[in-house]
Structure 1
Amino acid sequence: MIANKNSKNTLWVSVMAMVGVTVLLWLTVAPLGLTWDEPAYMRAAASYHEWITRLWREGASLLKPAILSAYWDYNHEHPPMVKWWYALVGTPLVKTVGLVGAYRLAAIMLSAMLVTVVVVSTLRVVGGWVALATGIILLCMPRFFMHAHVAALDVPGALAYIVGILFFWHLRNRREWWVTVLFGVIWGIGIATKINAAFVLPTIGLWWLIYDRRGYLLGRMVVGGLIAVVVFVALWPWLWVDTTKRLTDYLLWVTVAHWQIPQWFLGQSLLPPPWYFAPVMAVMVTPLVILIVAVVGGVVALPAHRSYLHLIVISAVMPLCALMVSSTVYDNERLFMAFFPMLAVLAGYGLTRGVLFIKKSTDVVDWRIWVLGLVLIVGLPMRDGVRMWPHLLSYYSESIGGLPGAARLDMDHTYWNETYVKAFDYLSANAPTNATVWIESYSYDVPHTYQIDGRTREDLRFVSNDGYSVWGMKTTQMAMYEADYVIVTYRFTYWTPATRALVASNTPPVYQIMRDGVPLLRIYRQP
């Protein structure tokens, strides 16, 4: 049935989804390369863990301002909650599963929570068929599947945003004071996870204006917001010192003072890109059939389901709208990660409604037609994901002709350094002792993390135009032409004139990664 009148199955579905997704992601994590941001969060988590351990042993002396600043200052441009989680779950596992494996396992658990939350919420409102389709469709989106393994902030940020919204909706008819308090606590944890959770307010506010203008819900938003601010500060020891100044500095940072991250778009490095970048990028990286079926799902919602499904629509669109208004921070699809789970809900609903329409039934789903429809929806994305594997950040949808079409449009072929690991494996096997390897700016931490983890040879000297490592390891600034090897990734924003000249010289690479005839990475051996 498309409607589920009870919640008896919620617990076992939650357990199965959580365990199943965690196992799936863990079994597929090994080939996926470390990304640019992860080492910074690993180092912060290690610092947090040391502070927690000392606090347990030494007590209140660890609350002195100087000590708080020493342990919590690093990476204070981002809220602490994910790093709390990585510190408590990931750091203790480093000796067991390695540096990269430990923190990625912690991240995988959060991704499994996200899938579970969306599936269970959908189960309770529109039934098991839609919920099952939602989970499968979400995991068959290649870009999301990659992000679900990564020890960064983007999927946890989506989890925080979505949990706040769904909690508000599911308990909208409960008037008890504790619901408002709990909503505020959940929202505060969300903002302490990633600032994107602030968009809970416009999302539920717009839904409230359209569907349910009861006064106590407005009060819940106001009071819950005040509680959220208190929880946000309480969860972040960095803010316990000089609170007013640091909170002001943080708010300025996330609004106007963040360092600028340009976006490569249609052959140009732009800051900002055009207002329509976010929705266009969403179309480019979302499997076309899933997108179409999701649109259908949003349109054909039955009256009993419209309140929920239109909240899902608003939740999917809000992150895109936030980027459309204005920003100086872009990084492809990372900043609208919540779009994908919400789209999966709509696609699951669209599929199930389509099956009911074909059978001219009001509530009995023919499982054979449902399975066939699901295969048609996820078949192409799965095929393309296998073809791109393990470089899923190079996936582009059929809407622009896949990766070859993206190359013709002069889009990035890859990004976030995820291809580097294959280059390091090649160099570890083939480069002479103490070889110098030129890498792109701001990329030191990826090879250094692999060296700490034992995957990349320690004698290899990674050099670049800059010289900074979050691990405090020795870095060397060196011009490209001075290095023994040059690694070029096809993320064009950070190409220098020297990079372009080297690629244009038609010098044959000693190693390259290609997908669908399109280069993702090349290694050049210099004389």
Structure 2
Amino acid sequence: MATIGPLVFYALWPWIWRDTLARLREYASFHLNHEYYNMEFLGQNHWTPPMPRAYAPLMTAATVPAVTLCLFVAGLCAAARERLVYPLARAAARLAPERGRLAAAARALAARLRPPPPDAGGTALLWFLAIAAVYGAWLSPSTPIFGGTKHWMTAYPFIALFAGAAFSAAVRRARVALRALLVARRVPGAPRAVAGAAARGPLVPALLGAAVVAAPVAETLHAHPWALSAYTPLVGGAPGAASLGLNRTFWGYTTGAVVDYLNEHVPPRGTVYIHDTAGQAWDMLLRDGRLRKDIRGVGAVAGADFALYHHEKHMLGQAYQAWVAFGTTSPDHIAGLDGVPVILVYRNQSR
């Protein structure tokens, strides 16, 4: 990781092939001096550090599939038992007095635990440190950038590795249990090899694998195209997250969800206040033919025919401006996920 990692970083980023040092300095400066984001968390808008200590772990629990988190915890605990508890128990058994309850307990614990397999590279420790390094930044009161899950998602591959180790252990145990079941209930005279072959075959990992991916696949399909507004059932999905006061959207990515409404209702050469939609994204909707070519995006709500409002707590003032300018507090169109408003369209009542 110390040698191949930087080489891959350099090879896959052509921008730093020329003026490498200057552009790396620019890259570092961009992040170290980045302006602060506004982010809603548990009903409160946060703009500057320090970050709430519960922010990263709670958002991880609210956005990563529960089956992945459960397998991660199981894999982490198994690694800790192998790499930490077993050596400590052996050491306690050796160092404790020959007699007494402490010595007996230490020897009994050491006897119950199996020696861990050889791991000279400290693989589990490397995985754990990779996770701790990413999440550790969110414990500092001076972490310069505030944002969402994108800032710690680099820890997810290592979380998945622990989860994969737990899944592999589950497959092994399921095979042993299946073999014992088949042997106990086998037809008289059937060879034990049949039971062993069934347990060793692809059936067990295929069934367990399907059980693991079924819920995340269903959640992903259900959330499309509202991916950044989706939350897991652990917090009650999108409605539960809205009730908890978690962020619903970011950077106006949901404009594409209302293009059909705009195409139908905006008058010829009508104007739409695009709110938080990036100008390049609006231009791409026009260029791709998703929006009528005559619809014009404008940067002020006053005088516009329609106004978009992407719901974020710190942008409520934008909704108020539309109320005043258009003479109504009722949106003409609402789009969102599972009944949670994410993007609202206001219509100028005087037009």
* TM-score, L = length of structure 2: 0.70
How far apart, in 1, do the equivalents of 2:74 and 2:45 lie?
35
Aligned-partner residue type, residue 42 of structure 2: L
Alignment of 1:151-300 (within 5 A): 165=1, 184-189=6-11, 235=17, 237=18, 239=19, 250-255=27-32, 257-270=33-46, 271-272=48-49, 273-300=51-78
Question: How far off is 1:360 after superposition?
Answer: 3.4
Is the 8 Å Cα contact of residues 355 and 365 (structure 1) preserved in structure 2?
no
The answer (yes or no) to whether the contact 2:36–2:145 under 8 Å persists in 1 is yes
Contact map agreement 2:239 2:340 (CA 8 A) in 1: yes
After TM superposition, give the deviation of residue 501 of structure 1 in Å: 7.0
Asked if 2 retains the 8 angstrom alpha-carbon contact of 1:298 and 1:310, the reply is no
> Are 2:230 and 2:337, in contact at CA under 8 Å, matched by a contact in 1?
no
Instruction: Mark the CA change 1:434 to 1:324 in structure 2 (over 3 Å): closer, same or farther.
Output: farther
Query: For the residues of structure 1 that align with 2:251 and 2:241, how far apart are their CA atoms?
Result: 17
Structure showing the higher helix proportion among its residues = 1
The question of whether the paired residues in 2 share the 8 Å contact of 1:509 and 1:524 is answered with yes
Task: Please list, as runs of the form range in 1=range in 2, the aligned pairs for 1:433-472 lying within 5 A after superposition.
Answer: 433-441=268-276, 443-464=278-299
CA contact (8 A) 1:262 1:329 kept: no
Aligned to 1:486: 307
- Between Structure 1 and Structure 2, how many residues are aligned? 288
Secondary structure of the corresponding residue to residue 35 of structure 2? coil
Task: Find the aligned partners of 1:289 and 1:439 in 2 and give their Cα distance.
Answer: 39
Q: Tell me, in whole angstroms, the C-alpha distance in 2 between the residues paired with 1:365 and 1:338.
A: 35
Identity, % of aligned positions: 25
> Using the alignment, how far apart are the partners of 1:500 and 1:354 within structure 2?
54
- Compare CA radii of gyration and give the structure with the larger one: 2
State the distance in 2 between where 1:365 and 1:522 align. Answer: 55
Paired position in structure 1 for 2:170: 354
- d(CA) in 1 for partners of 2:53, 2:11: 30
Structure 2 stretches of 5 or more lacking a match?
80-115, 178-195
CA distance in 1, matches of 2:328, 2:272: 20
Secondary structure of the residue aligned to 2:122 is: helix
Distance (Å, rounded) in 1 between the aligned partners of 2:329 and 2:11? 52
Is structure 2 residue 150 aligned with structure 1 residue 315? no
How many angstroms does 1:421 deviate by? 0.7
Which of 161, 175, 181 matches 1:345? 161
- 1:380 to partner: Cα distance: 2.3
Structure 1: 5+ residue runs without aligned partners?
1-164, 169-179, 194-231, 465-477
Judge conservation of contact 2:309–2:318 (CA < 8 Å) in 1.
no
2:333 partner letter: Y
Residue 513 of structure 1 and its aligned partner are, at CA, apart by 1.8
> How far apart, in 2, do the equivalents of 1:260 and 1:526 lie?
33
Query: What displacement does 1:434 show?
Result: 1.5
Find the aligned partners of 1:357 and 1:445 in 2 and give their Cα distance: 53
Judged with a 3 Å threshold, the aligned counterparts in structure 2 of structure 1 residues 275 and 299 are, in CA distance, closer, same or farther, namely same
The corresponding residue for 1:104 is: none
Opposite residue 41 of structure 2, the aligned amino acid is F
Equivalent in the alignment of 1:428: 263
RMSD: 3.2
Asked if 2 retains the 8 angstrom alpha-carbon contact of 1:278 and 1:324, the reply is no
Q: CA deviation at 1:183?
A: 5.6
Matched to 1:488, the amino acid is Y
Report the counterpart of residue 55 of structure 1 in structure 2. Answer: none
Residue in structure 1 matched with residue 117 of structure 2 by the alignment: 303
Distance 1:183 1:485, change over 3 A: closer
